Structure 1
Amino acid sequence: MPANNFDINGLSAEEVLRARAKNGLNKLDYKKENSLLKAIKRIFIEPMMILLLAAASIYFISGKTGDGFFLVAAIIFQTSISLFQYSRSKNALEKLKDFSQPKCKVIRSGKVEEIKSEEVVIGDSLMVEEGGSIAADGVIIHSNDFSVNESILTGESLSVFKDKTKEDNRIYMGTTVATGLAIATVTAIGNQTKLGKIGSSLESINEEKTPLEVQIANFVKKMAIAGALVFVIVWIINYLHSHNIMGSLLQSLTLAMSILPEEIPVAFTTFMALGAWRLMKMGIVVKQMKTVETLGSATVICTDKTGTITENKMTLAKLFVLSSQKTLAPGDIKTPEEKELLAVAMWASEPIPFDPMEMALHNTYKEVAGKDERPYYKLVHEYALSGKPPMMTHIFEDGKSHRVIAAKGAPEALMAVCSLSDAEKKQANDAIALLAADGYRVLGVGSCIFTGNDYPESQQDFKFTFLGIVAFYDPPKENIRQVLEKFYTAGISVKIITGDNAATTLAIARQIGFKGYDKSITGDALMLLPQDELEACVMNTNIFTRMFPEAKLKIINALKSQNQIVAMTGDGVNDGPALKAAHIGIAMGKKGTEIAKQAASLILLEDDLSKMVDAIAMGRKIYANLKKAIQYIISIHVPIILTVFIPLALGWKYPNIFSPVHIIFLELIMGPTCSIIYENEPMEKNTMSAKPKPFTSTFFNWKELSVSLIQGLVITLGTLSAYQYCVAHNYTESATRTMVFTVLIVANIFLTLVNRSFYFSMLTTLKYKNAMVPLIILITAGLWSVMFFINPLTLFFGFERLTAGQALLAAGIGFVAVTWFEIVKLVKRKSN
């Protein structure tokens, strides 16, 4: 048999290089807005940046140029930090795009090669197969039972059959292969394709915002509105006291700045983008940011059997010949009937096999057949895998018009189209039961004689003769038992959804210690269940056999209706609808079709289910760390807001204790703390032994929000106690400001450490590996020291050098105002 079976050489390496130099890469490129300018524009319309610019302008107008320049420097620093975070996120996403780029097959120098779709050139011989996405426009030069879905271009959902003899003999970029195989000479790539000419509307489809993203946006919006209202109220109060418009404006801007939690959206974007990048480094490609958010909530994993639970290394293990009622190993094939069964099973496979079972049949045929007939026969007609349960039929002819009509598929599908006596049916069923009980995957094999050229529309209309059974063994993966245990420990249930029969699936499930292996249901039986019984069934049953697309989709939707967060693995064309419907669609990177990869939200590059354990662990870690960051932001914002507002509102001795420069300094410390420290936090040791978090539960639920508010109120109690202590001891305004500011700085440092875990003690979390923690704390302490020990800066901030006793008192108040929460954590650990 020729290497590619089509006598097509394709382009040589030199011709490929010339074509690429002339026409470029196969990419859709449209004029896009400069991403850097877009990012800068977005930064400068943020409420915090508007307040900073306003404050800087007022300082310059008032003649306080030093304060004005400080705010300008703060604006530059803030912009640099934002652009750095944007650059990190953008680079991570660009790498993800490169990783998730679709692949395609071309014939070059007489060999089939798999390349990235963007590497296709004009003149290439592009090979497209069932389940694949077409990478370029071209003219068909060879095809077998080839049909294509062109709905992306035409809106028509029905598949169109094409071959080189028809008027419409072209294929188009972006369309998908419904059945068969074709080879086409590429005529257009990139923007010159039919899809490319549609326009830039296809260049980027914005992702829908996730529930968490919407909630964050709403929270920040509400805080911005609150900040605007407080700004007006404080301006009026200040003006009534001082009759100084500019001074009143500055004080009201100070409070408005303290209210805005602008770090939250930055933290969310950073955590999600870098989380996706970390997953990619683990061999898990996330196509949509919302998947990162959803991963930690998964309650059910629906997995295929072949290639996910098992190795997908099919070996032909046994054959059952109906005529002799003999079951034998491939090495024992001797008689003409035994050789005929093997040959017909091989002819019923693809000429270029890519399915492991078909590859096993071809390899065994080559070893057993005395004479290899394959080079003399050509595939003239093909019936794709179809039916419930499915079967497929191939028709081959040689140059002397000798014809082979071969079919294989689910044994019950073949038996249904063959004339078998009751005794023969019993013999076949007994053999199937015996083979399936040992975990073998079984296929029925049949052949027929048909002399005309007007083939029936349906393969089931042929009058087949049932020849027997071929049985394959696909061993379970070595690590699958441990993977299942990790899912069970994490509170995640696992369900097997397979096209295989019940006996084979149950045998494999028993071998791997799968929970609920003794109970199963078929696709046909599932479709007959009323809705209430269906919902109970999907919750109580863990093995689903003889499944087809509609049944798979029904399972996913029924689980979702029971408030389950569903992850589903898939690799074939018929998995597409269910992958899209699942909260987390998981395609296999190696054996997955392009249709499956397009429908999925996540791709496992190594086809290894253990990677899903890693992905869920990463999802839980990202969510937990994001929650810590947000709770930190809320906890530290509360004392800043109240320390600015209460002295002013209650008319205390020093009503304007902080100015915009102090608030900006605190903001510059808090931003990196929440985005850098918490993003780098390792996973806590109890993360994968906890139950999945409810998907609707976020850091804005009242219980967690109340913890942050209480933490903030206790820190406020500390700052205001220090304030009143200073007033009671007749400290100057600058000394009072220094004490209060020191309390806030120390509280900020210890809040960072305490909130690294809401369960384990600070002594435990100090052992966590996170190089950013000492770095950021040292920078914060260093900046504090510079402000207090370098006179020009001390005067600029309106501070006063403290005595050792005053500094220790302020530090002690800050320490106690935060570390009390360690007692709460101790009580929680004791109760558990």
Structure 2
Amino acid sequence: MQSNEIEGLNENQVDESRKKHGRNSFTHKTEYSFLKKIITLLTEPMVILLLIASVIYFITGSIGDGLFLAIAIVLITAISLYQDSRSRNALAALRALTEPNCKVMREGQTIQIKSKELVVGDILIIEEGVFIAADGLIVRSNDFSVNESLLTGESLPVYKDANQADNLVYSGTTVASGLAIVRVSAIGNETKLGKIGKSLDSISEEKTPLELQINNFVKKMVFAGTIVFFIVWAINFYNSRDALDSLMKALTLAMSILPEEIPVAFTTFMALGAWRLMKMGIVVKQMKTVETLGSATVICTDKTGTITENKMSLAGLYEATQQKITNPEDELSLEEKELVRMAMWASEPIPFDPMEIALHTAYAKMFAVDERPLYKMRHEYPLGGKPPMMTHIFQSNAGDRIVAAKGAPEALLNVSDLSADSKEEVENAITLLASKGYRILGVGEAIFSSDDFPAKQQDFKFEFKGLVAFYDPPKSNIQSVFDCFYTAGIAVKIVTGDNATTTGAIARQVGFRGAENSISGDELMKLTDRELRLKVTEVSIFTRMFPEAKLKIINALKANNEIVAMTGDGVNDGPALKAAHIGIAMGKKGTEIAKQAASLILVDDDLEKMALAVAVGRRIYANLKKAIQYIISIHIPIILIVFIPLVLRWVYPNIFSPVHVIFLELIMGPTCSIIYENEPIEKNTMLQKPRPFSSTFFNGKELFTSIIQGLAIAMATLFTYRYTVDLNYTEAVTRTMVFTVLITANIFLTLVNRSFYYSIFTTLKYKNNLVLGVIAVTVFISGFLIYNNTSSRLFRFESLSFMQLGLSMGIGFLSVIWYELVKWSKRNRMEGNSI
């Protein structure tokens, strides 16, 4: 089908249409509301507690305390809005990158644009695998069918052409086969999809296991805080009969229990992780993929364009009558040139596949007279069958007809009437060409004069013309990529439509493990589920694959409790990409259907980026775990220093008030979200096996570590409290020393927990410029609060002597640094086991 007679819109017409009809985007979904976000923040449990405490302070005449808490509310709201803004900006950038492209004719040129740039009147070119971005009227088509299940619920494709009553295509549907030229009639909200409000944005994502674990943990802590709040309020009210004072003490304890930093940290880590991946050329369509990346245990990769360059060059010819293999660069006979000509006619008239482009290029070099403008396509049989083949029927104005087919050599041999001896010669040629790593197509020609075309292309009587072989060289970096996966404990499987010999040859060239064993799609389909689960473990190369076979591989691996990543680019890869835990589409050669089905897109079609993505996924998970362990550890001493003096009625029961607790909360939030999110990957991360995806985030061993660290700091603060009381220090000095112990412990806990394996001397060398900045700010503000007269009165502090300050800092340091001995012991055990 030729499209060069259609000019399309010019720039002025595009501008006029856009002014008149707007942009091609949906506006059903409620846009982000700043006021709504403020209201949401003000209903957070911590903010509600702060508001109540602030009001009580104002009522009781403690204006300074009330103002501080009011300012704290503003600060918490501002920090939350800033974090939310960073997350939204990151996700907005991702949405822009994942927006489908479309192909249009403008001013006689075929160009690619973002779907939102489409305007009414545009000439849209849509082909197999494309996501249709607007409603339109079919101008021309060849063997064109559309999957309209999104609108109708009907899964079978609907065949359409310009002469039918139903000659419209609709936004949101996908092209199942063929090619069409469409004039856009409606965009955005005016499309059929827009009018019924079925925007894909309205579909809410399910919460991930990690997200559910975090939400459940926070809910339990909120519930515990509520119970403790009422118990402490009742005890104090019973003892003092002062409702407001009792309420204030209960509020202080409730504030210390709420771990509101954890959900914020999770959202920030995931959104910024997706943003970091985007900057590396890896587009993550769903935030949950970031969480899954570090768990991948198996990667199923295509061969063409993933392992190889996808830069096909015609490397060999086998003409059936001459029965010899020829180099296309040599002097060719008329029969060999005719083989190339027939292979070209079997290709798309507007080629986009690298092999078809190579055939069109070779044809143009071999023939002085170009026949292509003289012929138009009469009928097309898209790629189909097992093994697959495709057939094109062209006819000239003079009535001359060409029926040409190409596809897997086995497919052409099956529909040709070659003798047994001739078939054996062809199979020998296939083996020889495949052993060099060449990709091979069979070519056939049929004579058919009737206009009553058969239902299936296999019903034609084909003459086998020969073989065309292409060389697609392996990517220069692919061996190091495989080595990276192997080192990280990730198995690699090649799943391809090519034959076993060609795939094995390429696999051996790049140092692929398991290149000697393979299984075909037909063989795989005969296996029982139990046999298949065993086979997918043993075999690493799967050849002559088709959609059902690919899907069975993915499901068998999942049944073996593997976390599966799958690369794909074609229409037929859609089901497997959707079934995989991590569906990976190629940004350049991937069809829109593949991109829609996938959860991750490699912009440059470079598998090395997948290795980087796994590393980033592991880094994000490890850093989020460090942040949450830090939050749990530092909350324990705050809870106990508020709770124990209060319940045991020590001499200074109200050692910390809400102003102290909220100040500590303001320090902890930035520490966990800013420092830990920016931490680099630890050097042993990619040497470890993938973590089990089903493992709980708060597992017993790690939770025990956090609790022990928290209790050690709590013991240090309580020891400081009792020590100062025994020395008859004033309440202000006691409070200041306990506060200094907590701040010092907070700083060193941040440094120690940067790694639960390597020493603090190693982690100090990590490149994270934010560590020094956050610690410096913490030290400066803490010193200012203690030694500035105005702030020290507000916080009821008293300036410490050099000895008191040094003692407090020393206790805080010792309460945390002991964990370095645990890490030292762990390293010694690991090194001993590796000998």
TM-score normalised over the length of structure 2:
0.98
CA shift at 1:532, angstroms? 1.0
Q: Which residue of 2 aligns with 1:48?
A: 46
Q: Which residue of 2 aligns with 1:471?
A: 469
- Partner letter of residue 408 of structure 1? K
Q: Which residue of 2 aligns with 1:647?
A: 645
Matched, 1:120 2:118: yes
Q: Which residue of 1 aligns with 2:433?
A: 435
Q: Which residue of 2 aligns with 1:258?
A: 256
- Partner letter of residue 471 of structure 1? A
In 1, the alpha carbon distance for the partners of 2:825 and 2:174 equals 59
Matched ranges for 1:708-747 at <5 A: 708-747=706-745
Q: Which residue of 1 aligns with 2:499?
A: 501
Matching residue within 52, 67, 84 for 1:69: 67
> What RMSD over aligned residues (CA atoms) do the two structures have, in Å?
1.1
Q: Which residue of 2 aligns with 1:618?
A: 616
In 1, the alpha carbon distance for the partners of 2:288 and 2:787 equals 47
Q: Which residue of 1 aligns with 2:599?
A: 601
Of 61-70 and 133-142, deviating more is 61-70
In 2, the alpha carbon distance for the partners of 1:173 and 1:755 equals 51
Matching residue within 813, 816, 832 for 2:814: 816
What SS does structure 1 have at the residue aligned with 2:202? coil
Matched ranges for 1:222-241 at <5 A: 222-241=220-239
Tell me, yes or no, if the aligned pair for 2:626 and 2:753 is still in contact at 8 Å: yes
- Partner letter of residue 319 of structure 2? V
CA shift at 1:654, angstroms? 1.6
Matched, 1:775 2:793: no
CA shift at 1:723, angstroms? 0.8
Q: Which residue of 2 aligns with 1:524?
A: 522
Q: Deviations over 1:689-737 (max 9, x none)?
A: 1111111224301111100000000001100110111111111211111
- Partner letter of residue 467 of structure 1? K
In 2, the alpha carbon distance for the partners of 1:227 and 1:116 equals 50
In 1, the alpha carbon distance for the partners of 2:286 and 2:738 equals 45
In 1, the alpha carbon distance for the partners of 2:604 and 2:284 equals 14
Matching residue within 92, 112, 122 for 1:94: 92
- Partner letter of residue 733 of structure 1? E
What SS does structure 2 have at the residue aligned with 1:332? coil
Tell me, yes or no, if the aligned pair for 2:25 and 2:116 is still in contact at 8 Å: yes
In 2, the alpha carbon distance for the partners of 1:697 and 1:513 equals 33
What SS does structure 1 have at the residue aligned with 2:237? helix
Q: Which runs of 5+ in 1 are unaligned?
A: none
Tell me, yes or no, if the aligned pair for 1:333 and 1:339 is still in contact at 8 Å: no
What SS does structure 2 have at the residue aligned with 1:331? coil
Tell me, yes or no, if the aligned pair for 1:631 and 1:699 is still in contact at 8 Å: no
Tell me, yes or no, if the aligned pair for 1:333 and 1:368 is still in contact at 8 Å: no
CA shift at 1:30, angstroms? 2.6
Matched ranges for 1:167-186 at <5 A: 167-186=165-184
CA shift at 1:6, angstroms? 4.2
Q: Which residue of 1 aligns with 2:139?
A: 141
Q: Which residue of 1 aligns with 2:185?
A: 187
- Partner letter of residue 274 of structure 1? L
What SS does structure 1 have at the residue aligned with 2:776? helix
Q: Which residue of 1 aligns with 2:686?
A: 688
In 2, the alpha carbon distance for the partners of 1:412 and 1:200 equals 44
CA change 1:201–1:134 in 2 (3 A) is: closer
Q: Which residue of 1 aligns with 2:385?
A: 387
In 1, the alpha carbon distance for the partners of 2:474 and 2:771 equals 44
CA shift at 1:336, angstroms? 2.4
Q: Which residue of 2 aligns with 1:635?
A: 633
Provide the identity percentage: 66
Tell me, yes or no, if the aligned pair for 2:210 and 2:697 is still in contact at 8 Å: no
Q: Which residue of 2 aligns with 1:401?
A: 399
Matching residue within 535, 549, 560 for 1:562: 560
Q: Deviations over 1:435-458 (max 9, x none)?
A: 001101111111110111100000
Matching residue within 286, 290, 303 for 1:288: 286
- Partner letter of residue 528 of structure 2? P
CA shift at 1:264, angstroms? 0.1
CA shift at 1:5, angstroms? 4.1
Tell me, yes or no, if the aligned pair for 1:29 and 1:203 is still in contact at 8 Å: no
Of 694-703 and 587-596, deviating more is 694-703
Matching residue within 192, 196, 199 for 2:197: 199
CA shift at 1:268, angstroms? 0.3
Tell me, yes or no, if the aligned pair for 1:520 and 1:543 is still in contact at 8 Å: yes
In 2, the alpha carbon distance for the partners of 1:378 and 1:795 equals 90
- Partner letter of residue 60 of structure 1? F
Matching residue within 207, 211, 214 for 1:213: 211
In 2, the alpha carbon distance for the partners of 1:279 and 1:225 equals 37
Q: How many equivalent residue pairs?
A: 830
What SS does structure 1 have at the residue aligned with 2:440? strand
Matched ranges for 1:426-465 at <5 A: 426-465=424-463
CA shift at 1:768, angstroms? 1.1
CA change 1:324–1:188 in 2 (3 A) is: same
CA shift at 1:272, angstroms? 0.4
Matched, 1:158 2:160: no
CA shift at 1:426, angstroms? 0.4
Tell me, yes or no, if the aligned pair for 2:29 and 2:201 is still in contact at 8 Å: no
Tell me, yes or no, if the aligned pair for 1:141 and 1:183 is still in contact at 8 Å: yes
In 2, the alpha carbon distance for the partners of 1:305 and 1:641 equals 57
- Partner letter of residue 762 of structure 1? I
In 2, the alpha carbon distance for the partners of 1:38 and 1:532 equals 53
In 1, the alpha carbon distance for the partners of 2:517 and 2:33 equals 55
In 2, the alpha carbon distance for the partners of 1:559 and 1:659 equals 56
In 2, the alpha carbon distance for the partners of 1:369 and 1:201 equals 51
CA shift at 1:754, angstroms? 0.6
TM-score normalised over the length of structure 1:
0.99
CA shift at 1:34, angstroms? 4.3
What SS does structure 1 have at the residue aligned with 2:264? helix
In 1, the alpha carbon distance for the partners of 2:517 and 2:598 equals 29
Q: Which residue of 1 aligns with 2:833?
A: none
Tell me, yes or no, if the aligned pair for 2:28 and 2:199 is still in contact at 8 Å: no
Tell me, yes or no, if the aligned pair for 1:123 and 1:185 is still in contact at 8 Å: yes
Q: Which residue of 1 aligns with 2:80?
A: 82
What SS does structure 2 have at the residue aligned with 1:121? coil
In 1, the alpha carbon distance for the partners of 2:661 and 2:29 equals 41
What SS does structure 2 have at the residue aligned with 1:465? strand
Q: Deviations over 1:62-95 (max 9, x none)?
A: 2212111110000000000000000110111111
Q: Which residue of 2 aligns with 1:353?
A: 351
- Partner letter of residue 556 of structure 1? I
Of 12-21 and 349-358, deviating more is 12-21
In 2, the alpha carbon distance for the partners of 1:699 and 1:650 equals 35
Matched ranges for 1:270-281 at <5 A: 270-281=268-279
CA change 1:556–1:31 in 2 (3 A) is: closer
Tell me, yes or no, if the aligned pair for 2:26 and 2:199 is still in contact at 8 Å: no
Q: Deviations over 1:245-297 (max 9, x none)?
A: 10010000000000000000000000000110010000000000000000011
Q: Which residue of 2 aligns with 1:110?
A: 108
In 2, the alpha carbon distance for the partners of 1:203 and 1:737 equals 52
Tell me, yes or no, if the aligned pair for 1:587 and 1:600 is still in contact at 8 Å: yes
In 2, the alpha carbon distance for the partners of 1:811 and 1:201 equals 57
Q: Deviations over 1:469-513 (max 9, x none)?
A: 110000000000011101111111100000000000000000000
What SS does structure 1 have at the residue aligned with 2:758? coil
CA shift at 1:33, angstroms? 5.0
- Partner letter of residue 663 of structure 1? V
CA change 1:201–1:337 in 2 (3 A) is: closer
CA change 1:483–1:658 in 2 (3 A) is: same
In 1, the alpha carbon distance for the partners of 2:199 and 2:591 equals 26
Of 367-376 and 107-116, deviating more is 367-376
